[in-house]
Structure 1
Amino acid sequence: MAATSPPGEVKPASASFPIRIHTLPCRPTTDVLLHAGDLTMVGKESEHQATIGMLRNADAELKIVIAGNHDITLDEDYYDSFGYRRHRAREDLVKIRDMYCGEEARRHGIVYMDEGLRTFKLKNGAQFTVYASPYQPEFCRWAFAYKRHQDRFNPAQEGSQFMAENPIPAFPAVDVMLTHGPPRGIMDETISCEHVGCDHLRRAVARAKPRLHCFGHIHEGYGAQRLEWANETMTNIQLDQTTVLKDRASYINVSHDGGDNPLKVGEETLFVNASIVTVQYDPVHAPWVIDIDLPRSTEA
């Protein structure tokens, strides 16, 4: 543990296919589990139940969850206007949301975040602020979508026709960003060789300079990269696949206890595309387990 910043293990996981993977053994023990959305295939209650079962069994003090475009029953406006057509019968939206926000979820350490900021304190004394957003540029009429010209993530400029409700604050306000969609040019390339990430999110993350930005959505983009902001140098994180298979997880250690190359706060960001499934929806990608230094709470 660092003298001024106790490390918190952050384990992102996203784009899950819970109908097929919820019976797998629990992942390694962590302080924090992050799920970057697509909790379900198409937002059915049975799919949410499977995911909740997986989250309850996960060995983590805190489990932070956001929705993704497939989680149509967590986007009430979308579901009432169009999403219900994807189901033979309407689902109970209140019941489904309560799975993530009710007392039973809280008892198991599950925290569902809508778009915005929240600060968390861990038992080990670490305290960190998360910016979360389930939204991504419109995509095949799925949930949590916005027009590409709309900037959800930055303060509005003079004359702007769109006002962001929850703009991302600048450094050092955010320690971890958890979004469903990727920023433009960062592990956002599709099978058709198109970069489909959000330009506005890219500008926002450059202002915020978080320690970690975890996302999913683009299954082909699974991986991790480390960006040095001063010269925009991007380094791909290379892992030994034999070790990944043995451990059933992809480990990264960027803490001060992890070696001679700890993450430089405010100068670097670790980006993780944590999509568990492939383009064919096969759950073959390993979850990420990350050792990273988090700020220490100043409270006694």
Structure 2
Amino acid sequence: MAFLRASLTAFLLAVASAEGTNGTATASSKTELPVNATNAKAVDPVPPIADKTEASTAGLKVKRGGQSQGPDVVRILHISDTHSLHRSTGNLPDADILIHSGDVAKVGSESELGDFNDWLGSLKGKYKHILVISGNHDFWDTNWRLNRGHISNEVAQDPAYFQHRITNARVLNHDLAEVMGLKIWGAGWHPRRGDSRSGNNYADIPEGVDIVVTHEAPFGIFDMTGGGHWGSSTALLDAIYRTKPKVHLFGHIHEQRGHWTKAGSQYQGGVEYRPSPYSGQVFRPNGPPPQHYPVEVESNNAMANQPSVDHSWTGVWAPQHIVGADLIGCSNAWQPGLPQWDATLKTLWAFTNLKVSAPDEVVLRIPLPNNVVGGDQMVMEKNDIGKWGIKHVIRGECDASQLMQSVECLQKTPQDVAQDLCQPHVCRVALRTSKGLLKMRVVPGWAPLGAQRFLQLVTDKYYTDLAVYRAVSSFLVQFGVTGDMERSSKYQALEDDELRGVPILEGMVSFAAAAPDSRVATVCIFLDDFPQLGKNRWETPFGRVDEESLPVLHKLFTGYGDMPQCGGTGPDPVQILEQGNDYIRQNFPQCDFVESAEWLQ
């Protein structure tokens, strides 16, 4: 088995259902990295490099994107712990089988389960088989009714109880599904059966299954939380050792989302959860399974964030939202130094490098450049001392020399920006101004440090009763300076974010700064497009005002002109620091104010 990253929201497995196939892996035409660079021969003297990316084990054919390679390959999409946020998972990638490993709901109410079932119904034409197991949250409402005698224990624990509510999928309740040549055992959650209890019937898992699907983790595998091992099962661990499945899919422990994939005798992967969206640090990473552990692919894909965990790390309470996307869909910021991809690639797992064989049979492990996007081609060459490296990258609309020398080729288009703003990891904020409500979307991947700071300031109620002291017609509006030193002194200047090609367009939101590493709390919102700006790292936008709020933005008063430090006669921010808002109200009575800021669900 080998494990591949798919889309922005889920994990994708390519599984060989036929025995005895040779382990090979090929790249689709959309994501050939590295490639047979036939269209680059005029500028590249290096012979084409054959794509010999290795699969982790024999018995598997893996295709990076594209359609399946034949009847012996089954594509499996694994999702988990969507907690009634299933409609925020975006456009799930194509696969043969969709598997959800529990916690489809927040409390398991009839309305939640009904909406989830309707959503599955909309996917039935996309997947040949849909398999679901129940999680602990899916029975909260049931347990409430059990405890009050509204239903009997026999009814609640009837295997058909959950299936009657999820009719657009096959619900596995400690039973076996044999689909497309694979034996898949699903062990769902039960009312009044908790973690690690023998009542979970893990002893019933038969030998010879290919895939085991549970909600909880086996003890010691992706179960480390603040207090140590939590939410895992020793009985399940014993069952895994006994039955030796090739793949184990689960969720439950959100802050341990990640995967382990066995390559030879070693496991690759690890925890990928980052307290969202405020930190690039992995939550409590733990070591791989023991070397003799029988499972080849171990996947915890709990997709929603865990607000209490995020708060314990960041001091910020954020709404629950889908964050499984953050590691692939944003940028390198969530995992500095590791390759990450936009939605068009859909395949490369962020913890791995490509492994290829050069024409001279040298095996290369290539960390991919930060500026590579879906559809690009990498051309390799050997230097004077015999070492291979990346010579240049070819993009369809640019020749190789343009791409390496021109920042413009890396600039996001307005269409890219619009797509970014619709991703499930985006956070929504509203500024209440004296002219009306300004709704905006914050995209952590554009400027992770800037987004983190802004959202922290919103949570801390920093943006309360602040003058829009700089308002220049057709240019920008600016706010964030306060005479309350107790309020402002707790925030230090930020390091600059990396440039990610985000253009300055109408409604873009960024911090106001004039020098490296000087962003603190002052925010500017642009009133028009300014393609000449955004070339400095401290100018990187972190969000954009919603189109519906642009009329409110343009109503903000701009009649006083620019501030004195920029040659104007408008309000002086230095005087605001010294005198507070009295200075504004006495001397610039038409100035607008940001009255408050808040998160939007």
Q: Is this a same-fold pair by TM over 0.5?
A: yes
Indicate conservation of the 8 Å contact 1:15/1:36, yes or no: yes
Alpha-carbon spacing, 1:14–1:144, altered in 2? closer, same or farther (3 Å): farther
**Which residue in 1 is equivalent to 2:301?**
274
- Return the offset for 1:25: 3.5
SS at match of 2:96: strand
**Which residue in 2 is equivalent to 1:72?**
139
- 1:68 counterpart letter in structure 2: G
Aligned-partner Cα distance in 1 for 2:141–2:212: 20
- Return the offset for 1:197: 1.1
Aligned-partner Cα distance in 2 for 1:63–1:25: 17
Aligned-partner Cα distance in 2 for 1:197–1:95: 25
Aligned-partner Cα distance in 1 for 2:294–2:197: 29
Q: Which protein has the larger Cα radius of gyration, Structure 1 or Structure 2?
A: 2
**Which residue in 1 is equivalent to 2:129?**
62
Alpha-carbon spacing, 1:83–1:190, altered in 2? closer, same or farther (3 Å): farther
**Which residue in 2 is equivalent to 1:158?**
none
Indicate conservation of the 8 Å contact 2:193/2:199, yes or no: no
Instruction: Please report the RMSD computed on the Cα atoms of aligned residues, expressed in angstroms.
Output: 3.7
Q: Output one character per residue of 1:192-235: Cα deviation in whole Å (capped at 9) or x when no partner.
A: 33343111111111121212110011111101112589x7x543
Aligned-partner Cα distance in 1 for 2:104–2:209: 24
1:146-295 → structure 2 map (5 Å cutoff): 146=194, 148=196, 150=198, 152-153=200-201, 155=203, 167-170=204-207, 173-227=208-262, 233-236=266-269, 268-280=295-307, 281-286=320-325
**Which residue in 2 is equivalent to 1:160?**
none
- 1:135 counterpart letter in structure 2: W
**Which residue in 2 is equivalent to 1:134?**
188
- Return the offset for 1:169: 1.9
- Return the offset for 1:49: 2.1
Aligned-partner Cα distance in 2 for 1:223–1:189: 12
- 2:185 counterpart letter in structure 1: Y
TM-score (norm 1): 0.63
Does 2:82 align with 1:16?
A: yes
Indicate conservation of the 8 Å contact 1:37/1:134, yes or no: yes
Alpha-carbon spacing, 1:181–1:9, altered in 2? closer, same or farther (3 Å): same
- Return the offset for 1:148: 3.6
Alpha-carbon spacing, 1:54–1:238, altered in 2? closer, same or farther (3 Å): same
**Which residue in 1 is equivalent to 2:484?**
none
- 1:117 counterpart letter in structure 2: L
- Return the offset for 1:147: 6.4
Aligned residues: 224
- 1:220 counterpart letter in structure 2: E
Aligned-partner Cα distance in 2 for 1:290–1:210: 24
**Which residue in 2 is equivalent to 1:252?**
none
SS at match of 1:60: coil
Alpha-carbon spacing, 1:97–1:128, altered in 2? closer, same or farther (3 Å): closer
Q: Output one character per residue of 1:97-137: Cα deviation in whole Å (capped at 9) or x when no partner.
A: 42323xxx2xxxx211111222123xxxxx1111111138x
**Which residue in 1 is equivalent to 2:193?**
145
Indicate conservation of the 8 Å contact 2:79/2:99, yes or no: yes
SS at match of 1:25: coil
**Which residue in 1 is equivalent to 2:65?**
none
Alpha-carbon spacing, 1:96–1:46, altered in 2? closer, same or farther (3 Å): farther
Percentage identity across paired residues of the two chains = 22
Indicate conservation of the 8 Å contact 2:101/2:214, yes or no: yes
Aligned-partner Cα distance in 2 for 1:154–1:180: 12
Aligned-partner Cα distance in 2 for 1:146–1:10: 28
**Which residue in 1 is equivalent to 2:397?**
none
Relative contact order (alpha carbons < 8 A, sep ≥ 6): 1 or 2 greater? 1
Indicate conservation of the 8 Å contact 1:153/1:204, yes or no: no
**Which residue in 1 is equivalent to 2:73?**
7
- 1:130 counterpart letter in structure 2: I
1:117 to 176, 186, 189: 176
SS at match of 2:218: coil
Aligned-partner Cα distance in 1 for 2:256–2:127: 26
TM-score (norm 2): 0.33
1:37 to 80, 102, 107: 102
Q: Which moved more, 1:38-47 or 1:24-33?
A: 24-33
Q: Output one character per residue of 1:38-87: Cα deviation in whole Å (capped at 9) or x when no partner.
A: 11100112211221232223321111001100111796xx45432889xx
Indicate conservation of the 8 Å contact 2:105/2:112, yes or no: yes
Indicate conservation of the 8 Å contact 2:83/2:106, yes or no: yes
Alpha-carbon spacing, 1:130–1:24, altered in 2? closer, same or farther (3 Å): closer
